[in-house]
Amino acid sequence: MTQESEKKQRRLGVLIGGSGLIGGTLAHYFKSKTPEEFDIRAPSSKKLSIRNSQDIVSYLKRVRPDFVINAAMASLDSDAQLAFETNYLGTVNMARACSALNISYIHMSSAAVLPHGKNITEDNRLPLSPEMTNYAKSKLMAETTLAHMGETMGLDYTVVRVAIVYGEHDHKIQGFHRLLFSIADESMPFLFTKRKVEHSYSNANKLPYFVHHVLNHREEFSCQTYHFIDKDPVYLDELILKIRAYLELKKPREVYIPYSLVRLGKFFLDLLTNFLGWFGIVSRLPPEYMFLRDMYQHQTLSSEKLERSSFVDPAPEEDIYTRLPSLIIYYLTRWGHLNLITRYKNEFFADSLEEDFLYHPEGLLESIHKDSIAPFAELVEAADEESSHLSKR
């Protein structure tokens, strides 16, 4: 079989939102773990804006994929228009394109569409209401329309609903990583939660294995919604104190701040940010502040449907606690390089080259000129082989 015919057998997929934590993890998995089975395209928003229906039509018409994965989302604190256009209209227009091409559509959704409580099943969605946040409202509307298109138009879709996501390579400080940053930065003096409040967590590193399985078993997973979460929920206060112990910090103190006091503090912070705006100082509270109430209420998702499916967890022993050491090292290193946190600089990523760059730049420059500017031998060899091949023609 020729190399060209082998490539034709690979399934071509389009991944939207490849720059985010979930999208980036999916892109890395399919390109590194399954190159013989899948060819994944992850166009930037300049090539394909999910907010532009004509972009979607022209791109998919040209590429003709076998499936689409949508991991795009507007920022948590986006205004109504951006949330509506990205999270809802973009989702629907992508679904319309997939329906026209008769291909599978995998949509990433959120636990924000679910009520508070314990052991919430896939069917327990919130009722749509004007009081919902723009993010939750647009995500809920998207799920509702996908289900409607599945029933009325035969759309082959799967909704994958995640809870609090954790994993490496998140270039933004958001979600769980905002919590980790607040503790490491010592900007959380006390515990902003109640005792034993439970939440579900989703492991970003395991998610691609599930999406891979879903793509290979369309009959089972078509027109279905699944919670992709770790089997066991986590007590928020215990998780915070465990992170504190890893970092060997004294804060946050084990003092539980009531939600009424938190609401009052948030009110004054809103006033302060508005006041600073009068002087041309742009300041914004982290978007996670809109979910402060969630830190005082249980939200654990049922994993029963996932466990009954044919999917097998590739690492059942892995959870947020087993991943904490590697997550802490990764993010403290990253935030240290960005000068966001300097406390752990020498402990986690001290480097002799960095020391030389800071204090002995002349010696470093001379050393590199002496040993490290020769052309790469592999590229020289490849260029010589190409030149020799062309000369024989």
Confidence at residue 1, expressed as pLDDT on a 0 to 100 scale:
42
The β-bridge partners of 299 are 117, 199
Q: Do 272 and 370 share a structural domain?
A: no
Residues 339 and 363 in one domain: no
370 and 293 in a common domain: no
Task: Find the distance separating the first CA and the last CA of the chain, reported in whole Å.
Answer: 26
Pairing of strands 299-301, 117-120: parallel
Which pLDDT value is given to residue 5?
Answer: 47
Task: List residues bridging with 69 in a β-sheet.
Answer: 15, 106
Q: How many folded domains does the chain comprise?
A: 2
**Two tokens, residue 280:** 């041309």
One domain, residues 107 and 180: yes
143 lies in the same domain as 234: yes
Find tokens 């089972």 and name the residue. 220
Question: Rounded distance, CA 94 to CA 144, Å?
Answer: 15
Do 107 and 218 share a structural domain?
yes
For position 266, what pLDDT does the model report? 64
Q: Which residue has the tokens 């940053």?
A: 181
Residues 253 and 373 in one domain: no
Look up residue 150 and give its DSSP letter: H
Same domain membership, residue 369 and residue 305: no
- Examine the domain organization and report whether 130 and 261 are in the same domain: yes
Determine which helix (DSSP H) or strand (DSSP E) holds 349, and give its type and residue range.
helix 345-349
Would you mind telling me the total number of residues written for the chain in this entry?
393
Pseudo-torsion of CA 240, 242, 244, 248, nearest 10°? 180
Burial zone of 2 (CB within 10 Å; 0-12 exposed, 13-18 middle, 19+ buried):
exposed
- For the chain, the 3-state helix, strand and coil shares in percent, each to the nearest 5, are 50, 15, 35
The amino acid present at 43, given as its one-letter code, is P
| CATH for 287 | 3.40.50.720
pLDDT (0 to 100) of residue 105: 97
Residues 290 and 246 in one domain: yes
Q: What is the pLDDT along the chain (393 residues), one digit of tens a residue?
A: 444 444 457 899 999 998 889 999 999 999 999 989 999 999 988 888 888 899 999 999 999 999 999 999 888 778 899 999 999 999 999 999 999 999 999 999 999 999 999 999 999 999 999 999 999 999 999 999 999 999 999 999 999 999 999 998 777 777 888 889 888 888 888 888 899 999 999 999 999 999 999 999 999 999 999 999 999 999 999 999 999 999 988 889 998 888 788 777 666 566 656 655 665 655 565 655 566 778 889 999 999 999 999 999 999 999 999 999 999 988 888 888 787 876 665 555 555 666 666 667 787 778 778 777 788 788 778 777 777 776 766
Residues β-bridged to residue 110: 162
- pLDDT of the residue at 2: 46
Same domain, 277 and 371: no
pLDDT at 348: 54
Same domain, 378 and 321: no
pTM, entire model: 0.83
Domain span at residue 368 reads 355-392
